[in-house]
Structure 1
Amino acid sequence: MNFASDNVVGASRPVLDALIAANEGARASYGNDDETRAVEARLSEIFEREVAVCLVATGTAANALALSAFVPPYGAVLCHANAHVMEDECGAPEFFAGGAKLIGLDGVGAKIAPQTLARALAAYPAPTRQSPPFAVSISQASECGLVYRPAEIAALAEVARGAGLSLHMDGARFANALVALGCSPADMTWKAGIDVLSFGATKNGCLAAEAVIVFDPARAKALPILRKRSGHTLSKGRLLGAQLLGYLGDDHWLANARHANAMAARLADGLRRLPGVRLAWPAEANEVFPVLPLPVAERLRAQGAIFHPWAPTALPEEFVLEAGEGVFRLVASFATREADVELFLARAAEAVSAAA
């Protein structure tokens, strides 16, 4: 019953098989290999246009490099106050960008509304007083498990474009958001106004592989240099390319995400049926945020369930957290078993009954 995150499980079989195959023999180094070239071509097919691709091993590297390529050291990035780039990357985006500043905005469910962005830009002081904004960063799915619809992304892009800003998407759970929406990768990115994407794969089946994707290759010329300078250019780059080939082959990445989302939906449906349990936000991708009485959470943990408390911020305005309650996060993965979901729900029912 480990629902701590979708990165607590290992890699999926097609990814491991591709990695083992690429391990044999000798290849050109530093990404000048057939596997990397094949992944670049495959991603251009998936996104329905020529894209620039920069492979890295971690999501933090992908986000930090993506932003550093679009934001100068004296610039700023507008993002949600609870965004992963803001709260969970130890200042890596600022460090990689040479001192660029992150500025947090409010929003229900850790999503930025277009009107919130517009107000923030309208109230922005003169650039000689504060770092001028150069980019907006959104998380797909958000830190509260919500997804941006293509129309929402397009509305944000319109505001950003009006101010001359680029739009970055942190797609750590890109595949989960994509299958939840049922749209194409192109519809959810460049067609809606995304300039640069951190394409996540490690949470959805890869061992350690992510990609920075720039939708106008002319704007990506600095990325290989920035990657090398930051220490994220692997000499055995084919092992990154191989993982992504296994991940993307036969739509394996989408199948993994559909399974994770289905397990999260099953968890959410079962939990909301329990008396005294509700959801802080809808379960739109593969994360579930139940509000539990604290004794119920303690009993579940004592019985071996693993999940994390979550900050009660970004809640809907009408949502009231009662004394003795807490918000918690449960994450389903491509490897989550139905038996684990059913066991957790049974234990939760027992805990609710005991607390009553």
Structure 2
Amino acid sequence: MFFASDNTSGACPEVLAAINAANDGYARGYGADEIMARVTRHLREIFEAPEAVVHLVATGTAANSLALATLSQPWQGIFCHRHAHIAEDECGAPEFFTNGSKLVLVEGDHGKMTSDSLEAALATTQQGGVHGVQRGPVSITNVTEAGTVYTPTEIKALTARARYYGLSCHLDGARFANALAATGATAAEMTWKAGIDAVSFGGTKNGCMGVEAVVFFDPAKDWEFQLRRKRGGHLFSKNRFLAAQMEGYLEDGAWMRHAAHANDMAARLAVGLAQISHVAQWHPVQANMMFPEWAEGTHERLESAGAVYYRFPAPSGREAARLVTSWSTTAEDVDRFLAAF
């Protein structure tokens, strides 16, 4: 009953098989391998973007930070939700890789910015001439850190506001597949068709061992990203093993099957929790992550039964947790957890 995070699950069989196959023989290094060429073609097809630039890194922190560094200048602000992953869980990496860009935190219920809340932040930035932080890119997290999901229409509203100020837009898609499974949107509809310039396409949380793709829809960003990735120490010599993971992940739609399964297990869990009178959810359950609150003493009972998850601060007399389902969560895991109540 492991609900701590989807990155605590193992690598899926498709990925392990692809890594094993890639280990046979020799291949050119630094991304010049044939597997990488196939991955690039496949991601261009998925995004319906034949000119898209595709590069791989091993971590989400590197993907987000290097992408934002390519889109911004050190004197600019990067606009993101107050509880965005880049704001709360990257140890200042975006600021480090951008050489000083400031994160400008935007309000919004349930982890989501709105056009109005983004406008409020944009309108009050760049007021001091040369003395003030200048406006820079907007970064949207989907699935959000609250477990909620932006629809393409909601993303379009945010990117339209950014475009009004001449700003580019980045999408942190660590759980991108879960967002697509939740909305039924295509990868193109969730990104460039909605006004996104660059996306961090997650794999690690959905069955990969450790790989993320950075996709730019403007080929002019290619060379700068390559230089930043190398200078930042994130260019893998044996890139074929990153590419193999991504190829196994994408092959025959494995990435979407695993995301849909994780979402289904979260829905099963949410339905079961809704039947327990003392349980309430902090946010709508829309993908594979939730934040339930329950009666005091529940943590001890659940953990004694073998449940693993993150505890969260709660009001006096109550307890709260974050629960995340993954590609390998089973219905039996969910039912045993519910039975432990």
Q: Do both proteins adopt the same fold according to a TM-score greater than 0.5, normalized to the shorter chain?
A: yes
Equivalent-residue separation in structure 2 for 1:170 and 1:194 (angstroms) = 10
TM-superposed CA distance for 1:295, in Å, is 1.2
TM-superposition CA deviations, 1:208-231 (whole Å, max 9, x none): 110110011123330010000000
The amino acid across from 2:321 in the alignment is: F
Q: Equivalent residue for 2:39?
A: 39
Write the mapping of 1:38-187 to structure 2, written as runs, cut at 5 A.
38-50=38-50, 51-124=52-125, 125-187=127-189
1:309 Cα deviation from its structure 2 partner:
2.4
Deviation per CA, 1:39-85: give whole Å up to 9, x if none.
01100000001210110000000000010000111111011111110
Q: Is this contact kept in 2: 1:267–1:288, CA < 8 A? A: no
Over aligned residues, Cα RMSD in angstroms? 1.1
Distance in 2, matches of 1:189 and 1:256, equals 21
The reply to whether residue 275 of structure 1 matches residue 268 of structure 2 is no
* Alignment CA distance shift 1:164-1:25 (3 Å): same
Helix, strand or coil: the match of 1:168? strand
Does the Cα contact within 8 Å between 2:298 and 2:319 map onto a contact in 1?
Answer: no
d(CA) in 2 for partners of 1:17, 1:26: 17
Equivalent residues in 2 for 1:305-320, closer than 5 Å: 305-310=307-312
Asked whether the 8 Å contact 1:195–1:216 carries over to 2, the reply is: yes
Q: Which residue of 2 aligns with 1:25?
A: 25
Q: How many Å separate the matches in 2 of 1:299 and 1:218? A: 55
- Amino acid in the other structure paired with 1:67: L
1:226-241 to 2 correspondences below 5 Å: 226-241=228-243
Structure 2 portions without partners, runs of 5+? none
In structure 1, the partner of 2:204 is 202
Aligned residues: 339
Instruction: Supply the AA of the counterpart residue of 2:242.
Output: L
Could you say which residue in structure 1 is the equivalent of 2:335?
342
- 1:241-289 C-alpha deviation (Å, 9 max, x unpaired): 1111100000000000011000000000000110111111111000121
TM-score, length-normalised on structure 2? 0.97
Q: 1:117 and 1:287, CA in 2 relative to 1: closer, same or farther beyond 3 A?
A: same
> How far apart are residue 311 of structure 1 and its match?
5.7
Q: Distance in 2 between matches of 1:192 and 1:60?
A: 24
Residue type matched to 1:341 in 2?
V
Cα distance in 2 for residues equivalent to 1:197 and 1:132: 23
Question: Does the CA contact (< 8 Å) of 2:279 and 2:292 recur in 1?
Answer: yes
Give the distance between the partners of 2:216 and 2:94, measured in 1 at CA: 17
CA distance in 2, matches of 1:22, 1:165: 40
Tell me the equivalent position of 2:322: 329
Helix, strand or coil: the match of 2:130? coil
Residue 60 of structure 1 aligns with an amino acid whose one-letter code is T
Paired residue type of 1:65: L
Partner of 1:353: none
Which stretches of structure 1, 4 residues or more, deviate above 6 A after TM superposition? none
Letter in 2 for 1:39: V
* Rounded Cα–Cα distance in structure 1 between residues aligned with 2:286 and 2:179: 8
TM-score by length of 1: 0.93
SS in 2 for 1:73: coil
SS at match of 1:7: helix
Q: Partner of 2:215: helix, strand, or coil?
A: strand
> How far 1:127 sits from its partner (Å)?
4.2
Greater mean deviation of Cα atoms: 44-53 or 118-127: 118-127
Deviations 1:325-356 (A, max 9, x none): 233110000000111100000002xxxxxxxx
Bigger shift: residues 130-139 or 170-179: 130-139
CA distance in 1 between counterparts of 2:271 and 2:130 reads 51
Between stretches 322-331 and 79-88, larger displacement belongs to: 322-331
The residue type paired with residue 132 of structure 1 is Q
What is the aligned-residue identity percentage?
A: 48
